[in-house]
Structure 1
Amino acid sequence: MKIEVVDAVKRFGAFTALDGLNLTIAPGEMVALLGPSGCGKTTLLRVIAGLEYLDSGQLLLEGADATRAPVQERRVGFVFQHYALFGHMTLFENVAFGLRLKPRRERPNETTIRKRVMELLAMVQLEGLASRYPAQLSGGQRQRIAFARALAPEPKMLLLDEPFGALDARVRHDLRQWLRQMHALVPVTTLFVTHDQSEAVDVAERVVVMRQGGVEQSGTMEELQGNPASPFVADFMGGVNLFQGRVENGWTRIGDVVVEVAPPGKSCVESMPTVVCVRSHEWQIRRVPDGYRAWSTVVRHVRPQGSIVRLGLESLEGAGRFEVEMTREQYDPYGFESGETVFVRPKRVKIFADPPHDVAAAA
């Protein structure tokens, strides 16, 4: 099912949850909604499901106006963070619930229901537990039953609201892999809310970053990390250092450091504020200065993390504190220690102004 949200506005009193949001999801696409708390992710999900109605704007499902359509007409499966299973029903009855709730003219017979339920229990790898109750299952098993129940009526779209948020890290990881495999078998249009970037990376084909009720940027994780549309996206995706700069003599200055990259756009004027973005792994670091382009810094901490070593640096030229990430292979020949002076320079920077501009730092 194709989902189109057009100029969507939804308010709760004085709070604007959706502020002119536009989003299109292709049939069979798996999309993650990512963003900070209060950005409108869950509200958008509820609007698409029919649990909330827009104050203005439009919702189109397969090109038809569904802005005011009731829930039962939308063919939607919904999975919540806390399972919402019926504790007094067996797993079989939980999965069969949606099928038995269909209007009489659409309701399958008991033989068909049993076949459908057992197929779904097999798909979620719980076919031997049909007679058990939710309280007898682990959290991961309960969430798989929640997925099976949502899929039983053959929905046109599947909406997931923090589906793995109540589970421990290992179970979350396993269920992400399972969800991706399940989507390959049942390619229903799927939209899920998460605040976990690793979850979005593991599962989604496309990630939509939301901010203050709107879409800040949409794309693959590689696109969002490699070419962020704004300082907000760069910072939210993590693994990046942001520096407040200012245009000076045609370049950007951060404290006493001059970034030898032309500021973006002809509209940049002297003293105009800029934001300089450098990803943590895109630095060259040495014990001796590499010409006049090197930044003088002092190592504040060294944090080995498996195959990665993170160095906390503080600029001696007023650029502030930032982090450099090195592989073990890069770090071991140097063995940098806390308190020593080192010289760094960015390999690539992105300067935000009007319009955004992405260039490689001068060699």
Structure 2
Amino acid sequence: MSKEYYIGLMSGTSVDGIDAGIFDFSGPHPRVIDYYYQPYSLQIKQEIHNLCINHESVSLSDYGTLDTRLGLLYAEACLHLISEAGLNAKDIKAIGNHGQTLYHSPNAKHPFTIQSGDPNIISQKTGTITIADFRRRDIAAGGQGAPLVSAFHQAIFQTNQENRVIVNIGGIANLSILPKDTQAAILGFDTGPGNTLMDYWIAKHRGNAYDNNGEWAATGKMQSELLKRLKEDPYFSQPAPKSTGTEYFSPKWLTTILAKQTTAYLAQDVQHTLCQLTAETISEAIQAYAPKTEQVLLCGGGTHNKTLHLALASLLNMPIASTETQGVHPDQVEAMAFAWLAKRTLEGSTGNLPATTGAKQAVILGGIYQA
């Protein structure tokens, strides 16, 4: 059987770097050929954050420069990965690139979403067909443009043996509900902040990019009044389908709420409470939309946060495990998903699930940039 090698690229809302993987889709189950993680430099991180945070006064020069620089970084990651795997560009059928999300606004009067990283550069530098801009076609069809990974979760993780929920905890947390009735609709949506607020808070107070294993959060105490105020945000009670981003659950969102509190909280107590916010909004979404869940499978960077994992376990009376138990490392799920979506696009197959995104119809996602 001939190999079907695809590259998937993912840069998530945590803004930490590029996940790149080569995956073989020729068999009944995807196979990881090689995987590479390229962290962003501090300068690139700062440029991304500057555009995201100061989105009301973005310089077109800064945006265009970042778009080009990210395109070059994605291309370099692909070339490194291909070389590391001992392959040639001609061995790769296509590259699926999610791009770096800078702004996501599906509920505006004129809905839009922006992912940066010029795919023209990727296809030109690698000599490989590149498929990108997946989200805007779903928005054009009346959807939220997210989450798009639910179709992949269905293809890879659904079973007729048990009701499952896949929870991806990146900067924003999202879930896919996979009933064991394989004829039932698949639901999925963003539950709210995943790591984004915790990452911001520890960077502000400790100078760290993230809370390793949730160790700093574990030193704090949960502040019930603060948690109550955080959860009063209308997004959490908004019905699915829905999606959000770090432009909404932003540092400004958090600091505005903190400024209205009469209590001066210890920094580690805020971190613990933010961890609890992520855990409770995920668990409440599962209990509301998938009360018969028999297995929760975690993926994304938040999988490694032990404090968050313990909080989820205390809230959910059901088994919780990593997607690694199903043969896919939690850090590789989203890169594999966009490799799979690239394959769907190249084959002329639809990639979105209307019940999940709210689109009026299933559509072929992404633009194809020829080698």
TM category (shorter chain) comes to: under 0.3
Bigger RCO (CA 8 Å, 6+ sep)? 2
Higher-Rg structure is 1
The structure with the largest strand share of the pair is 1
The structure with the largest helix share of the pair is 2
